[in-house]
Amino acid sequence: MTVPSNAQLTLKLEDGLADRHLSLRDCMVHQVYARGHGRMANLLDIGPSHLTEKLAGADSSGAKRGMTLDEFERYLEKTGDMTPILYLVAKFMRDPAAAQQDALSKLTQFAESLPALLAAAGIKTGRSHR
């Protein structure tokens, strides 16, 4: 795919994606195991035990053996799974205006549902419900 140099992207990020994972490594572990560890090892041409070591960041002796950037790129290419990239975007490129708009939207939804919730809880608000 060729992307023009002046292109802009619009991304739809999963709610809480950056909050669900402690790190990019944690995100990768989740994505690999969700797709099937053995299947991913085969797809990436890495032995299952080596993939486990790479995802853990160390081998059985404790030596550092994390996933290389080339292996990370191969994962993206082979799986088409952009969740790790979206995780990084959500973690490091949050738009304060978009976050504020999202919070206002959620607050509006909550305010609209509050009277019905109070009524269901048996709390009288002094207002008549229509």
Cα distances (angstroms) measured from residue 95 to each of 27, 75, 90: 21, 27, 9
* Segment 50-68, tens digit of pLDDT: 999 999 988 778 788 889 9
Give the domain ranges of the chain. Answer: 17-93, 95-130
Q: Which residue has the tokens 């991913």?
A: 40
Decide if 67 contacts 56 (C-beta within 8 A): no
* Segment 70-118, tens digit of pLDDT: 999 999 999 999 999 999 998 888 767 766 877 788 888 888 888 888 8
